[in-house]
């Protein structure tokens, strides 16, 4: 028979004399719980890596990318970029091999003329700067050989190089459509010039095509929970597959919230077209036009920076996060304020640049734009909103599990007659627990209008299942201070 106090480990009918005191830790934690968050970087590997495709691997430093996935690999470049801005969040990597049927893109540099002066032009490949020494009278073949030597000397580059009679061919290390995003240009910074008398024209060669299938990665991560997922492949098939996977995890039976980040390089019109075709609260697409930096590096660094800010406080705007490895497009190629506003309405997140060219996150949105009826819906437009309500869900769930880990259930009418030591839950007690959790959320600035929550929260015992309690939790989520508008009505 139960006693007036319920113990976890001491039986009620024990007769051997002694002093028996158990340790009950179930109510030890009273503040807001910490929420485990992990980053997962997806990308392609090279054969020189020591970790096979499809193996989830924890990484903590940029050297891990080189050792595990091959020097110069897409995934090694992503890891280096991510840990540079966020070495604190638990980070994992999952590699895929190149698609066998894929094509590695190429670009050519055609050298012509004969330099009439010596100089040091700079070749930029995926944002990496290479100095090319040129002397008076060199032939195109000699200059091409110098370019190949400079490229070959840097094994971290995303391309390899060969030359033939003054024409350099740069070949992406990986097969796949994302190779088309490898920017190659001369002389990015002011004062960098090509010596007089010589030209070196960059042109597209073989078109890159064929990305790996992210379904393979989804199968490998099927039992894990990853809060921020970076995906370098922005093609429709892979994006749709990942969005569908994350939607299946978002529901109340799974609750493994996840969010995928990627990058798209295009003009304002191209970004609008791409963003308008997506509609998911579980994806964020950063967009720029003609940045010299590698697309997958931009995606990894932006996602890692946002994850760091969001794990500290999901409601604080992500505005102002610095991205040290993202080089600015030329002034003429940067999106104007009007264009940035338009692409934000089409689900594209924006990056801006200060006067020194430093890259800064401006606004982070999801691609969610319309509900199932095709009507405009901004309920999950802001990533801040999604992450805040997900943390609230975790807090409410934690509070109920903490206060009622293994309890009996009764109606509120027994509260006045039952022993205080009994492990029993009632709708009123559970409601008090939920209100206390909401008060904690208000205290840390994630919830507002606590009085409204108290008035609207519903906790009812199920009529269909006597062992179940149903609840409706109506938190008013704090918002972000994005816009200040005023009219200066002056008087003369």
120-149 per-position pLDDT tens digit? 999 999 999 999 999 999 999 999 999 999
Q: Are 304 and 86 in contact (CB under 8 A)?
A: yes
In Å, what is the CA distance from 209 to each residue of 77, 104, 175, 297? 20, 7, 7, 19
pLDDT at 8: 81
Q: Which helix (H) or strand (E) holds 472?
A: strand 469-472
> Is 80 exceeded by the pLDDT of residue 440?
yes
Q: Tell me the two tokens of residue 481.
A: 């201070």
Q: How far is residue 253's CA from residue 144's CA, in Å, rounded to a whole number?
A: 60
Beta bridge partners of 385: none
pLDDT at 28: 79
pLDDT at 2: 65
Helices 295-312 and 74-85: crossing angle, nearest 10°? 30
Which tops the pLDDT comparison, 30 or 10? 10
Question: DSSP label at 237?
Answer: H
Among the CATH numbers 2.30.29, 2.60.40, 2.40.50, 3.30.200, which is that of 106-204?
Answer: 2.60.40
| Per-residue confidence band for 418, with pLDDT thresholds at 50, 70 and 90 | confident
> Is 70 exceeded by the pLDDT of residue 1?
no
pLDDT tens by residue, 272-294? 999 999 999 999 999 999 999 99
pLDDT at 216: 97
Q: For the chain, give the mean pLDDT.
A: 96
What is the SS3 assignment for 457?
coil
pLDDT tens by residue, 58-100? 999 999 999 999 999 999 999 999 999 999 999 999 999 999 9
Per-residue pLDDT averaged across 340-354, rounded? Answer: 98
What is the SS3 assignment for 98?
coil
Question: DSSP label at 364?
Answer: -
In Å, what is the CA distance from 124 to each residue of 8, 188, 189, 414? 67, 7, 10, 75
CA pseudo-torsion sign 241, 242, 248, 251: negative
What is the SS3 assignment for 166?
coil
Which tops the pLDDT comparison, 25 or 185? 185
* Residue in 17, 46, 74, 47 with CA at minimum distance from that of residue 298: 74
Rg (CA), the chain: 29
Q: Are 262 and 234 in contact (CB under 8 A)?
A: yes
* Residue in 239, 144, 125 with CA at minimum distance from that of residue 183: 125
Where in the chain do CATH 2.60.40 domains reside? 106-204
Q: How far is residue 440's CA from residue 395's CA, in Å, rounded to a whole number?
A: 9
Q: Are 285 and 234 in contact (CB under 8 A)?
A: yes
Give the end-to-end CA distance of the chain in Å, rounded to a whole number: 88
* Least confident among 13-17, 203-207, 259-263: 13-17
Residue whose token pair is 């030359």: 163
Q: How far is residue 253's CA from residue 299's CA, in Å, rounded to a whole number?
A: 30
Q: Which percentage of the chain shows pLDDT scores above 70?
A: 99
What is the SS3 assignment for 331?
helix
Q: Which helix (H) or strand (E) holds 363?
A: strand 359-363
Q: Is 397 left (phi over 0), alpha (psi -120 to 50) or beta?
A: alpha
Q: How far is residue 407's CA from residue 414's CA, in Å, rounded to a whole number?
A: 14
Decide the pairing of beta strands 90-96 and 57-59.
antiparallel
Per-residue pLDDT averaged across 322-340, rounded? Answer: 98
* Residue in 418, 420, 424 with CA at minimum distance from that of residue 405: 424
Rounded to the nearest 5 degrees, what angle is found at the Cα of 313, between the Cα atoms of 312 and 314?
Answer: 120
Which tops the pLDDT comparison, 361 or 420? 361
* Residue in 105, 140, 142, 143 with CA at minimum distance from that of residue 125: 105
* Residue in 240, 233, 309, 251 with CA at minimum distance from that of residue 78: 233
What is the SS3 assignment for 298?
helix
Question: DSSP label at 11?
Answer: -
* Residue in 333, 369, 368 with CA at minimum distance from that of residue 351: 333
Q: Tell me the two tokens of residue 280.
A: 């998911």
What is the SS3 assignment for 225?
coil
Where in the chain do CATH 3.40.50 domains reside? 38-97+214-385
> Is 80 exceeded by the pLDDT of residue 242?
yes
Among the CATH numbers 3.40.50, 2.60.40, 1.10.3470, 3.30.60, which is that of 38-97+214-385?
Answer: 3.40.50
pLDDT at 395: 97
């Amino acid at each position: 028979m139960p006693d007036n106090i319920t113990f976890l480990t001491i039986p009620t009918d024990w007769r051997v004399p002694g002093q028996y005191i158990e340790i009950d830790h179930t109510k030890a934690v009273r503040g807001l719980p910490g929420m485990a968050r992990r980053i997962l970087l997806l990308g392609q590997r090279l054969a020189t890596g020591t970790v096979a495709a499809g193996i989830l691997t924890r990484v903590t430093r940029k050297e891990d990318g080189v050792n595990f996935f091959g020097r110069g690999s897409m995934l090694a470049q992503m890891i280096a970029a991510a840990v540079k801005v966020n070495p604190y969040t638990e980070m994992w990597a999952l590699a895929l091999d190149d698609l066998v049927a894929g094509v590695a893109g190429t670009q050519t540099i055609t050298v012509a003329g004969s330099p009439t002066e010596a100089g040091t032009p700079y070749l930029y490949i995926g944002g990496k700067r290479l100095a090319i020494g040129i002397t008076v009278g060199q032939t195109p073949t000699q200059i091409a050989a110098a370019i190949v030597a400079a490229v070959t000397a840097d094994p971290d580059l995303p391309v390899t190089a060969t030359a033939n009679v003054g024409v350099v061919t740069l070949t992406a290390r990986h097969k796949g459509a994302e190779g088309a995003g490898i920017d190659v240009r001369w002389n990015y910074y002011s004062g960098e010039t090509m010596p007089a008398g010589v030209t070196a024209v960059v042109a597209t060669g073989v078109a890159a095509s064929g990305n790996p299938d992210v379904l393979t990665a989804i199968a490998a991560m099927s039992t894990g929970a990853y809060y921020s997922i970076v995906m370098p492949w922005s093609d429709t098939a892979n994006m749709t597959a990942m969005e569908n996977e994350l939607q299946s995890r978002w529901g109340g039976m799974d609750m493994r919230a996840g969010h995928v980040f990627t990058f798209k390089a295009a003009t304002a019109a191209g970004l609008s077209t791409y963003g308008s075709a997506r509609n998911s609260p579980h994806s964020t697409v950063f967009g720029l036009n003609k940045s010299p930096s590698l697309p997958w590096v931009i995606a990894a660094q932006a996602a890692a920076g946002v994850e760091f800010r969001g794990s500290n406080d999901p409601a604080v705007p992500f505005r102002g996060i610095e991205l040290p490895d993202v080089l600015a497009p030329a002034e003429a190629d940067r999106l104007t304020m009007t264009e940035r506003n338009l692409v934000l309405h089409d689900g594209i997140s924006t990056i801006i640049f200060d006067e020194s060219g430093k890259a800064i996150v401006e606004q982070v949105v999801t691609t969610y734009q319309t509900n199932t009826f095709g009507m405009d819906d901004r309920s999950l437009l802001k990533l801040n909103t999604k992450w805040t309500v997900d943390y609230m869900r975790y807090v409410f769930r934690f509070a109920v599990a903490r206060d009622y880990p293994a309890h009996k259930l009764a109606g509120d009418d027994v509260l006045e007659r039952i022993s205080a030591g009994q492990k029993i839950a009632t709708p009123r007690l559970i409601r008090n627990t939920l209100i206390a959790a909401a008060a904690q959320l208000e205290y840390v600035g994630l919830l507002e209008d606590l009085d409204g929550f108290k008035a609207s929260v519903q906790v009812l015992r199920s009529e269909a299942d006597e062992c179940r309690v149903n609840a409706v939790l109506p938190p008013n989520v704090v918002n972000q201070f994005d816009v200040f508008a005023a009219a200066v009505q002056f008087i003369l």
